[in-house]
Amino acid sequence: MSNGELAVLGLPRQLISYWENKWIRTLVKALSLIVIGGIAALAKKASLPLGIPGHSAILWLSPLIAGRAMIRRDGAGTLMGISLAIWGIPVGINNGIVHNLGLYGFTGFALDLSARLPHINIRNPFGAIFCGAIAHMVKFGFIMTGALTSSITTHFMIFGILKSAGLHLGFGAAAGLIGWLIYKGGQAGQRKLASRSHSNRLQEL
């Protein structure tokens, strides 16, 4: 958010001056990404065990897409993924911390890489869908590396690797679209708030 937008919102000059400090802006953005990771962890925990591979991405990956669109900084996706992994321990996601860090850390890293590809803009629906699909397929690939030595082997044998991959791709794309809608909704709310604040200030003159 620019200083001009903060001024339109009617925020105190002192607060705006703090926002001009690069380190404060970086800290606020980092904390925001950590909070988004926590929201994603709660969403992951809240997902129902439907037995459909990848379906929970609609809940947990969507906030990461929205967060990466909101804060287009290198490493933003990775930080959210690591945050999700760490929050997953107290929240109760049934994986160890090392597994969580690999699973969601690599997913966030893939989100960062895909968002930086030429002609890919995560702030438009097609870019968000692409980034969501790629990130979720990386998560699928991480799962598959351990599938032959874990209890999920039978699960994948039932559905088939190709079918599971297709479901992960589809749910990842859907999460990208939902994440973009969340981002656009936040932008619309911000503009509405700014417009209302500006109107109130004019009435006070």
pLDDT tens digit at each of 205 positions of the chain: 544 444 444 445 555 555 566 777 788 899 999 999 999 999 999 887 788 888 999 999 999 999 999 998 999 999 999 999 999 999 888 778 898 999 999 999 999 999 999 999 999 999 999 999 999 999 999 888 766 655 555 555 556 778 888 999 999 999 999 999 999 998 887 777 656 654 555 455 5
Token couple for 58:
């609609």
How high is the pLDDT of residue 188? Answer: 84
CA triplet 172, 175, 179: central angle to 5 degrees?
A: 140
Dump the DSSP string for 66-132: HHHHHS--TTHHHHHHHHHHHHHHHHT-SS-HHHHHHHHHHHHHHHHHHHTSTT--TTSHHHHHHHH
**Which residue matches tokens 């937008």?**
5
How high is the pLDDT of residue 140? Answer: 92
Domain ranges of the chain: 3-204
Comparing CA positions, the residue from 24, 27, 31, 29 lying closest to residue 72 is: 29
pTM score: 0.81
Q: Find all residues with CB under 8 Å of 205, minimum gap 6, and list them.
A: none
Q: Find all residues with CB under 8 Å of 61, minimum gap 6, and list them.
A: 40, 107, 132, 135, 136, 171, 172, 175, 176, 179
Residues 105, 77: contact at Cβ < 8 Å? no
